A = this chain, B = another copy of it.
Amino acid sequence: MNRKIKIGLLGAGVVGSGVIKTLAHNPSIEIKKIGVKDLNKKRDLNGYVDKSAFTTNINDIITDPEIEIIVEVLGGLTPTKDIVMQAIQNKKHIVTANKDLIATYGAELFDLAKKMGVQIQFEASVCGGIPIINTLKQTLIANKFKKIIGILNGTTNYILSEMLNKKMNFEMCLKEAQREGYAEPDPINDISGKDVAYKIAILASIAFGERIKIEDVFYEGIEKISLADVFLAEDLGYRLKLIGMVEQEESGLLDIRVHPSFIKKNSTLASVFGANNGVLIKGDLVGELTFIGPGAGSMPTASSILGDINMLRAQLASSKNPNPLFVCQHSDYAKIKPISETENGYFLRIQTEDKSGVVGQVGTIFGNADVSIDTLTQRGINPDGSASITILTHVVKEKKLQKAISEVKKLNTIKQVENVIRVLE
């Protein structure tokens, strides 16, 4: 395989720099052109790449006849989508780390790629360095998948880990994460769960062979998580994690969603701490597999991008036809189960007035709504004279639980339903 391949790189930020450094002395992969917004921006890339490779003329890159692969690490949707579509029109293979792009416009992109006979590879778009996407498409291909459940966002896992370890509240941990470089200056996509929604949509699409409309994926973030939630979880034998999950029912319906969850403290995923990611896959043949590793970062993400480039290069060296296992084949859309129809255990933290009979009132409402209670604890009086009730329910349909909550909220004795967190068994 002595064939040298030339690539065009779009973006020279954190991930792009990792790619440039990794390929600096590679004899078989050459970065011919690098597209950037500002040629004069200071970049710590001396000695890794010739300055003449940088250009602001993106069109010049995606139409270069010598360039076979476009590596897109610009991120975002605009103008990235249009650029990638044009590159595909020009018969360039695409390697991308852009989860937003794949989750939002995957259908259009893959349709066009199929038409033009090129491939889009996106191992780096989910869980950074963890080799999850190509593994689902290749080595595990014979499995009928049942479930994927994962800690797919390093920022939020870092924050939740620090809340547990240092007993600091959400805001303090977020600030620390920003200082340490684990959270963006604008962290909304991470902490809101949206980033995880993109990722679980991509994984679900591959595992179940169906397209997912990203707007159908329910997500809830960790903004409302308090220290009390984190430690009550531990007391009850669970750990609080932001979970992305997808499960296919017998009917074919996909239960796909993202939310803070209580997971069993002795489970493998509960042991995934800090900025690490973890993914558990359940297949009919293989049973349960767990992958743990760095979900982001310059070099781990470059590892996945380089893997995709090498796989494309190896294919192009042996054949003009795309390897069918490397190509997305599906085009139908999945049927998604509404969150109100899902079934979960629930943890509730309710602030009440310190009056006798409150527990009885709440219990009656839950009973009438057909929500069975596993444990109910009334804790000591708060400084403001209110009392706290925590409830762990048995598994029940979400809409029954929501109905019970709306009834509870009407009680005069209830000050606030402070948080409701789903429990995954």
Contacts and interface: CB of A to CB of B under 8 A. Distances in A.
B140 A303 contact: yes
Which of A1, A18, A325 lies at the interface centre, i.e. has the most chain B CB atoms within 10 A of its CB?
A: A325
A134 B139 contact: yes
Interface string A137-171: 01111110000000000000000000000000000
Nearest to A26: B142
Interface in A281-335: 283-294, 297, 299-300, 302-304, 306-311, 314-315, 317-319, 321-326
Given A319-B318, A321-B318, A323-B323, A22 B285 contact: yes
A138 B306 CA distance: 10
Interface string A179-194: 0000000000000000
Contacts of A289: 129-131, 291-294
B314 A285 contact: no
B307 A142 contact: yes
A135 interface: yes
Contacts of A139: 123, 131, 134-135, 304, 307-308, 311
A416 interface: no
Contact of A129 (B22, B131, B287, B309): B287
Contact of A300 (B271, B287, B311): B287
A283 B285 CA distance: 29
Contact of A322 (B300, B318, B326): B318
A274 to B, nearest CB: 12
Given A139-B134, A268-B292, A306 B285 contact: yes
A241 to B, nearest CB: 15
Contacts of A304: 139, 286
A324 B1 contact: yes
B142 A135 contact: no
Nearest to A136: B131
Contacts of A303: 140, 142-143, 283, 285-286
Contact of A142 (B22, B134, B141, B287): B22
A357 B307 CA distance: 61
Contacts of A322: 318
Interface in A119-133: 123, 129-131
A326 B325 CA distance: 14
B325 A310 contact: yes
Contact of A286 (B288, B293, B325): B293
A286 B300 contact: yes
A290 B308 CA distance: 20
A404 B303 CA distance: 45
Interface string A250-271: 0000000000000000001001
Given A22-B285, A134-B139, A318-B321, 20 more contacts: A1-B324, A129-B286, A129-B289, A134-B135, A134-B138, A139-B304, A139-B308, A140-B303, A142-B307, A284-B299, A285-B302, A286-B294, A287-B297, A287-B300, A288-B293, A290-B291, A290-B292, A291-B291, A314-B326, A318-B323
